[in-house]
Amino acid sequence: MADGDTANRMWGGRFTSGPDAIMEEINASIAYDRKLYAQDIAGSQAHATMLAAQGIISAEDAEAIRSGLDQIRSEIEAGSFVFKRSLEDIHMNVEARLAELIGPAAGRLHTARSRNDQVALDFRLYVRDTLDHLDAQVKGLMLALAEKALAHAATVMPGFTHLQSAQPVTFGHHLLAYVEMLARDRGRLADARKRANECPLGAAALAGTSFPIDRHMTATALGFDRPTANSLDSVSDRDYALEALADASILAMHLSRLAEEIVIWSTAQFRFVRLSDAFSTGSSIMPQKRNPDAAELVRAKIGRIAGAFQGLLMVMKGLPLSYQKDMQEDKEQVFDALANCSLAIAAMTGMVRDMTANAAAMKAAAGSGYATATDLADWLVRELGLPFREAHHVTGRVVALAAEKGINLEDLSIEELQGVHPGITEAAYAVLGVDNSVRSRTSYGGTAPQNVTDQATRWLKALG
Ligand code: ARG
């Protein structure tokens, strides 16, 4: 970023000796806002086209501006563009280069515009593009989960509450729970996009402009639904970025929970899933270890994502209208948080596709811990007409007996069961097996394999 150009020409010589090193250091944003180059150029090209259409600048100047900007985009993408910190930010770096390329016509581009509406536009476009990107990625993750869920619609595993075995469920059902969460995440992203999709360009510094601009034209050219309706609001708010971060935080929370489950499932104690070497690492000292690093990192990403939400919220609180330089602090954490959210989705999608389920270990675990006790209680209600509270009590005594003998419920003899309640018959054994247990959960949204198959199929169709 270093350059010999200390006098900032764009400030019209107000600082005769140029800003000192500290001022330049705190004031410049080019180190990170160069990320906005494509949005900045697209916005400027739309603005120039509109200015010409409205007779504010000549068609020749607009053409020169557009092609000069095309060249600048190529230079940036080729890595040959020289960014100058003394020019502060992406907007002035691009404009200064445009002046070098096309001469005085470059100076006409900034007619009826300010850096305030320019940066508001660029950042909004960036956030909007990123929302679209995240949405497509989440969709991919949902597909990966739904495919795995279909394959494991009948694979029995323990369902947990308090991380204690509660009732058997199927692995497919468990995975589809995340598909539901992610579908709501997509809904939030789509919602945020709707509100973000208004064009601030033309608000100028804060009050609008006396030039006869056509804000609807630029809004349409840039894919917005409409121009923003209040010039002060247009240059002042960053709620669209906050909303994106809030949505990303909730999404990252969901990813973190699934990541944690993968960490638990892949332990030697659980062995429910196995991640290939692609998503785990060995230990340099303990040869037996397979560390689920990718899952651990996905689990951690929420820290910086939710942190960015808090960070930007604190930057924005208490700011009087309209633009304040504080708002330059909006970008870095948004860039970082959304990029890491994207990375976390990619890693999670990779892991979901990569992991193999150990159906035997899952089934064995599902059968231990008396996970079918509720099924026995339900059987007593259904077959013997016991009130549920009494059935719960009887079942408790059955569980205690099995625990005392150190065996599973289905290993108790009929005499032992009848010793607890004389009404119990051989037929009760059918509900003590985990397969029968999950098969019986046919209520809408329940874990019965047929339900899971139907739901997974519905998702695959909706997403495909
Ligand atoms: N780099 C600035 C930012 O990110 C651009 C807007 C500057 N506007 C101004 N009036 N100084 O906010």
Dist. CA 288 → ligand 1 center (Å): 55
Q: Give yes or no for a contact between 15 and 8, defined as CB atoms under 8 angstroms apart.
A: yes
**123 burial via Cβ count (<10 Å: 0-12, 13-18, 19+):** buried
DSSP-assigned letters across all residues of 308-344: HHHHHHHHHTTPPSS--GGGGGGHHHHHHHHHHHHHH
Full pLDDT tens readout for the chain, 464 residues? 444 454 455 555 455 556 688 899 899 999 999 999 999 999 999 999 999 999 999 999 999 999 999 999 999 999 999 999 999 999 999 999 999 999 999 999 999 999 999 999 999 999 999 999 999 999 999 999 999 999 999 999 999 999 999 999 999 999 999 999 999 999 999 999 999 999 999 999 999 999 999 999 999 999 999 999 999 999 999 999 999 999 999 999 999 999 999 999 999 999 999 999 899 888 777 777 789 999 999 999 999 999 999 999 999 999 999 999 999 999 999 999 999 999 999 999 999 999 999 999 999 999 887 888 999 999 999 999 999 999 999 999 999 999 999 998 989 999 999 999 999 999 999 888 899 899 999 999 999 999 999 999 999 999 99
DSSP letter (8 states) at residue 355: -
* 47 given a catalytic annotation: no
Q: Which stretches within 197-286 are classed as H helix?
A: 215-221, 231-236, 239-265
Residue nearest to atom 11 of ligand 1 (CA): 325
Q: Give yes or no for a contact between 197 and 217, defined as CB atoms under 8 angstroms apart.
A: no
Global pTM reads 0.91
Mutate to test the pocket of ligand 1, among 11, 34, 119 (most ligand atoms within 8 A of CB): 119
pLDDT of residue 408: 87
pLDDT of residue 98: 98
Instruction: Given the residues 162, 210, 413, 443, select the one marked as catalytic.
Output: 162
pLDDT of residue 88: 96
Dist. CA 234 → ligand 1 center (Å): 14
Q: What are phi and psi of 27, to 5 degrees?
A: -90, -30
* 392 given a catalytic annotation: no
Mutate to test the pocket of ligand 1, among 89, 113, 121, 326 (most ligand atoms within 8 A of CB): 89
DSSP-assigned letters across all residues of 212-232: ---HHHHHHHTT-SEE-S-HH
Dist. CA 28 → ligand 1 center (Å): 9
Q: What is the number of other CB atoms lying within 10 angstroms of the CB of residue 404?
A: 8
For the four alpha carbons of 97, 102, 107 and 113, in that order, the dihedral sign comes to negative
Residues contacting ligand 1 via CB (< 6 Å): 29, 33, 89, 115-116, 119, 323, 325, 327-328
pLDDT of residue 3: 47
pLDDT of residue 6: 47
Q: Give yes or no for a contact between 30 and 93, defined as CB atoms under 8 angstroms apart.
A: yes
The pair of three-digit structure tokens given for residue 324, joined into one six-digit string:
């304040």
Closest CA to 455 of 244, 192, 170, 226: 170
Q: What is the number of other CB atoms lying within 10 angstroms of the CB of residue 387?
A: 10
Q: What is the number of other CB atoms lying within 10 angstroms of the CB of residue 10?
A: 17
